[in-house]
Amino acid sequence: MDKFEIVITTLFGLEALAAREVRRLGYETASVEDGRVTFYGDWEAVCRANMWVRTGERVLIKTAEFEAVTFDELFERTKAVDWGHFIGKNDAFPVKGYSLKSTLASVRDCQAIIKKAVADSLSTEYGISWLPEDGVTYQIQFSIFKDKVSLMIDTSGEGLHKRGYRRLSNVAPLKETLAAAMVELSHWKYEYPLCDPFCGSGTIPIEAAMIKRNIAPGISREFAFNEFSQVDNCLWDKVKDEAKSLERDVPLEIYAYDIDSDTVELAKNNAVKAGVGEFVVPKRGDARKINFDMPYGTIICNPPYGERIGEIKECEKLYKDLGVNFKKLDKWSYYIITSNENFEKLFGKKANKKRKLYNGMIKCNLYQFFGERPPKVEK
C-alpha cells in the first residue's frame, strides 16, 4: 500500500502521550508539535490509529503543506495537489479550517478558495465540468498558521473522544481523551484499587478499566473512513479482530463515587455500555468523607472548579476539606486536575509534580502527589 503522512491532533499538553501511543502501534513518529503528532503509514495505519489512540482527537491524512500569503498562491498550490488520488468523481468534499497569525486571515475566503481549487483539480482529473458530490464524504480540513498552509482529509468523522459508551453525560463532562491521559500519567497499577470520588458520568473509571484490560477505544464505533473506497471490509475486520484478540483478562478494583444519586446511576449505565460494568463500582458518596481499609491505592479526579464568586468560595472550602480527608490515605497517590492556581495551598500539601493540561479551553494543572511505592504483587 502507498504510504502517506498521517496527523493525529491532540489537546495541548497531550502530544507526548499520543506520540507514545503511535510508537506502541509500531510506527515511528516523524514530528511532535503543539497539538499534533505525525507519522507515515498506509490505510491499515489509519484504521489502527483510529482504533487505538486514546489521547488523540482526530486522525487526518496530510495531502499538502506549503507557504501562501496571497489568495492566488493558495488557489494554485491547492489545485496542484493530486486530489483524485483520494476523492472520487461523485464524492463530497466539504472544507473547514482555521487561520491564525497569517496574512490570509479570512477563514471564509480561504474556505471558498480551497473548495474551488479542489473542484477544479477534480474536474480536470475526471474530465467533467460538474461534480455531483452525492457520494462518500471526504471532509477536507485546512490550517493556516504563520502563513504555512496544511491541507488534510479527516478519516475519523466524530472526534476520537466519542467512544460510544457515553450517550448521556452530566453537566460538565470530562473529555474521554483527557481522562485517558490522566490515567496514563498516573502510572496506576491494576493490582491496587483506583478511586474517582467525583466520578460524574464515570469517564475516568471507565477509561481506566478500558486501559488496563486493553479494550481498544474505537472498538464500538464507526469512523468516516469506513465509507472510503480505499478501505474495504476485510481490512477493517482484520483490525477489529486484532483489537479483540489483544484484550486482557485482569482483575480490577475501581471505585466511582459521586454525591448525586442520578449521576451515580448514569456512571453505572455508561460502564455497562463500555463493557466494564463488572469492574467499575459506582456508589453515592461524599469525597470529603471517603475512606478505605486498603493501605495502597490511587485517586484520580476532576473536582469542580467554580466559575462564579460563590462557587469559587465553595470550591476552595472543598479543596481544604479534601486535603484533610486525604491525609488519612497517607500511602495513596492522588492525581487531581483543577484550574485553581492556589490548589496546593488550599489542599495543604505541595504536589510532587505539576503538568499543564487543557480541559476544553480551560487551562488547568494536573497536581500529582506520589504515595509510597506499594509492594510488588505476584501476578
Task: For residues 195 and 137, state if they share a domain.
Answer: no
The SS3 of residue 213 is coil
Residue 81 lies in a domain: yes
Percent of the chain with pLDDT over 90: 92
Task: For residues 142 and 274, state if they share a domain.
Answer: no
Tens of pLDDT, residues 76-116: 999 999 999 999 999 999 999 999 999 999 999 999 999 99
DSSP structure class, residue 217: T
Residue 374 lies in a domain: no
Residue 145 lies in a domain: yes
CA separation for the pair 129, 123 (Å, rounded): 6
Provide the CATH number for the domain around residue 147. Answer: 3.30.2130.30
> Which strands sit side by side in the sheet containing 298-301, from one edge to the other?
280-284, 254-258, 194-196, 298-301, 333-338, 362-369, 353-359
* Region 45-59 average pLDDT: 98
Task: For residues 145 and 53, state if they share a domain.
Answer: yes
Task: For residues 211 and 305, state if they share a domain.
Answer: yes
Residue 161 lies in a domain: no
Predicted confidence at residue 171, as pLDDT, reads: 61
- Residues 6+ positions from 231 with CB-CB distance below 8 Å: 43, 46, 47, 225
Predicted confidence at residue 373, as pLDDT, reads: 87
Task: For residues 143 and 258, state if they share a domain.
Answer: no
pLDDT category at 167 given cuts 50, 70, 90 is confident
Among 248, 269, 256, 260, which residue's Cα sits nearest to residue 205? 256
Look up the domain containing 198 and give its range.
176-215+232-244+252-369
Predicted confidence at residue 309, as pLDDT, reads: 56
**Rounded to two decimals, what is the model's pTM?**
0.94
Predicted confidence at residue 172, as pLDDT, reads: 63
Predicted confidence at residue 2, as pLDDT, reads: 83
Task: For residues 144 and 275, state if they share a domain.
Answer: no
Task: For residues 182 and 308, state if they share a domain.
Answer: yes
Is 155's pLDDT higher than 90?
yes
Residue 95 lies in a domain: yes
CA separation for the pair 119, 124 (Å, rounded): 9
Is 376's pLDDT higher than 90?
no
Task: For residues 126 and 189, state if they share a domain.
Answer: no
Provide the CATH number for the domain around residue 353. Answer: 3.40.50.150
The β-bridge relationship of strands 298-301 and 194-196 is: parallel
Task: For residues 197 and 316, state if they share a domain.
Answer: yes
Q: Which runs of E-coded beta strand occur in 48-174?
A: 58-67, 95-100, 140-145, 148-154
Predicted confidence at residue 32, as pLDDT, reads: 97
Report the run of H or E that residue 195 belongs to, with start and end.
strand 194-196
Predicted confidence at residue 311, as pLDDT, reads: 82
Is 1's pLDDT higher than 60?
no
**62 bridge partner residues:** 152
Tens of pLDDT, residues 311-357: 889 999 999 999 999 999 999 999 999 999 999 999 999 999 999 99
Residue 224 lies in a domain: no
Query: Hey, what amino acid is at 199?
Result: C
Split into its structural domains, the chain has a count of: 2
Predicted confidence at residue 84, as pLDDT, reads: 97
Predicted confidence at residue 312, as pLDDT, reads: 85
Angle (CA) 192-196-198 rounded to 5° is 170
Q: Within a 10 A sphere around the Cβ of 76, how many other Cβ atoms?
A: 14
Residue 167 lies in a domain: no
Tens of pLDDT, residues 234-280: 999 999 999 999 999 999 999 999 999 999 999 999 999 999 999 99
Task: For residues 202 and 344, state if they share a domain.
Answer: yes
Residue 291 lies in a domain: yes
pLDDT category at 168 given cuts 50, 70, 90 is low
Is 378's pLDDT higher than 80?
no
Task: For residues 51 and 185, state if they share a domain.
Answer: no
Task: For residues 34 and 113, state if they share a domain.
Answer: yes
Which one is predicted more confidently, 87 or 360?
87
> Which strands sit side by side in the sheet containing 95-100, from one edge to the other?
29-33, 36-41, 4-9, 58-67, 148-154, 140-145, 95-100
